[in-house]
Amino acid sequence: MRCYAACVLALCAFAVAQDAPVAPPLADLRARIEGLGADLRDLGRRYDAPMSAERRLRLRTRLVREQTELWQLDFARLGNEARVDWHLLDTHVTRQLAQLDDDERRDQEVEELLPFAATITRLHEQRRQLQAGEPRAEAEMVSELAQRATAVQLALQQGRQRAKAPGLATRARMRLIGLRHSLRSWFEFRDGYDPEFGWWLRAPFAEATAALDRLAEALEQAAGPGDQSLQGHPIGEAALRTELGFEWIPYTPAELVAIAEREFAWCDAEQQAAAKLMGCKDWQQALEQVKQKHRAPGEQPALVKELAHEAIAFLEQRDLVTIPELAKECWRMGMMSREAQRTNPFFLGGETISVSFPTDAMAHIEKLQALRSNNEHFCRATVHHELIPGHWLQQYMQARHRTWREPFDTPFWLEGWALYWEMRLYELGFGKSPEDKIGMLYWRKHRCARIVFSLNFHLGRWSGPQCVDYLIQKVGHERAAAEGEVRRSLGGLYPPLYQAAYMLGGLQLRALHGELVGTGKWTEKAFHDTVLQQNSIPIALLRQALLGGEVARQQVPWRFADR
């Protein structure tokens, strides 16, 4: 093992020496951003073994070099545009380094359940280095691998070994999927081409594959009863605070929950007023009426088209934002499968809006819940959220303005913009009827709830099923929709602050709108166009770029929700 580590260090030292001569000029921030992105993509493809110390070391070496050179710049001599890029690159590098540390910690936590991982990683890395090992020795390694996997499997099934932390068995199983893929890739690279390799390895490989499959089943059983897709992995308060720092958010998790509860109270009052106009005793009764108003099977695409055109016309009549003709022409539509709706019970969007609606493969209760969850008045906000002025308009502009900022994608800008427009259009009267208002406020409450349940989950206070119950009681979700929402939020596909970013990013943009448009300094259209043209960056940094003063080297705390 010492020899292997020494080889890794030597390799990284050689790579650093090779990287240095092609580095861009220190002050050329765009070139640095694009160069680092290209390097990290190349390194990610080359060093792709799961649970690899070599991979982490190689990436860390490149990132540390970038960080060192970045801090050698004379910040005072940079223009404001370059200062924004400096902050974006510095935050990105710091975050990537923190992620490598977190990956290493999480890999160490599952090592006891995957004691053979280093063997698979080593074989994979030797293949990437184009080193052909001695087949007989490799057969012994793979045979031992199978024995160690079987030992863990039996220990789990017989109760002699347990996962030491909640969710650890699930995480180990996910890692095992990657390891199994790497082992197969290694084997298939030489099998059939190297006669001696196949003679020695085919039987041990088959044994190892079967042993890994049995271990995967044992890990699934060890995860415990119930729906494991609702289990998730809380990261804790310290990690939440770190993530908030990367997003330039100066609030504590507890303060953010309080902000969400305040917005929740406003939504409840607005829904109650709309319910009264509908002749209902409370918002729950009004919501039930709204859920009954859905299109018939086969008619949902026509509704989406109507709502998309209506939103565009509303924006253009009021000259709120530039909408290029190509953006109006080139969006598409797709229908979401039954399986996809298990984790995405509502629409998804961008250039293609993915429409949720019952499929004929669904059970009867699933069909009814999907109909109710995607009724006409709920769809009113989801369509403009996903298309124009929401995600599709964002994507269109991102492809044409400050494209080098693409690696710095933040949900506070991405989702915050779409949620901001839900709030702005509500203020401007886009909801024509009380039923429309009930539907639009349903989504606003949904985003308040995302802050509350996601942060409480990651603080270790709530379980996944508790989050489901909260959404049903406080927002009015159908159970299937609530489970899909929590499954999506906690399943590891999204970063821990993603769900909170909708409402918080929207509040940030609303506060910035008040500073610039509300005071008469900017027109509405100029503000919205400029936000889009800055591309995806933390809203507090966007604020510094738009206010007109010098962008400071240190983060400037902005308590956007204080009032």
DSSP-derived secondary structure for 18-34: HHGGGPPPTT-HHHHHH
Q: Which residues contact 83 (CB under 8 A, 6 or more apart)?
A: 75, 550, 551, 553
pLDDT, average across residues 492-520: 95
Q: Which residues contact 18 (CB under 8 A, 6 or more apart)?
A: none
The residues near 283 (Cβ < 8 Å, ≥ 6 apart) are: 268, 271, 272, 274, 275, 438, 476
pLDDT higher than 90, residue 380: no
Residues 333, 472: Cα–Cα separation, whole Å:
29
Q: pLDDT category, 3, cuts 50, 70, 90?
A: very low
Q: What is the pLDDT of residue 162?
A: 82
HEC string for 237-282: HHHHHHHHHHCCCCCCHHHHHHHHHHHHHHHHHHHHHHHHHCCCCC
CA atoms within 13 A on the CB side of 500: 27
- Quote the pLDDT of residue 336: 73
Length of the chain: 563
Do 355 and 346 form a contact (C-beta atoms < 8 A)? no
Alpha carbon distance 122, 108 (integer Å): 16
Residue 144 tokens, joined: 């031992």
Spatial contact of 54 and 8, defined as CB atoms under 8 Å apart: yes
In tens, the pLDDT along 321-331 reads 999 999 999 99
What local confidence, expressed as pLDDT, does residue 1 receive?
Answer: 40
Which whole-number Å values give the CA distances from 281 to 132, 164, 286, 434, in the listed order?
A: 75, 50, 8, 14
Q: Are 116 and 148 in contact (CB under 8 A)?
A: yes
* pLDDT > 60? residue 304: yes
Residue 390's H or E segment, with its range, is: none
pLDDT mean over 456-474: 94
Q: Which secondary structure element, helix H or strand E, spans residue 333, and what is its range?
A: strand 332-335
Asked whether the predicted pLDDT for residue 24 surpasses 60, the reply is no
Tens digits of residue pLDDT in 143-178: 999 999 999 999 999 988 887 777 789 889 999 999
Phi, then psi, of 500 in degrees rounded to 5: -70, -20
CA dist list (Å): 514 to 16, 199, 519: 48, 73, 7
pLDDT, tens digit, for every residue of 84-128?
999 999 999 999 999 999 999 999 999 999 999 999 999 999 999
pTM of this prediction exceeds 0.85: yes
Q: What is the DSSP letter of 358?
A: -
Per-residue pLDDT tens digits for 510-521: 999 999 999 999
Helix (H) or strand (E) holding 352: strand 352-355
Residue 66 has pLDDT above 60, yes or no: yes
**Torsion sign across C-alpha atoms 43, 46, 47, 48:** positive
Both tokens assigned to 430: 């886009």
The mean per-residue pLDDT over the stretch 422-445 comes to 94
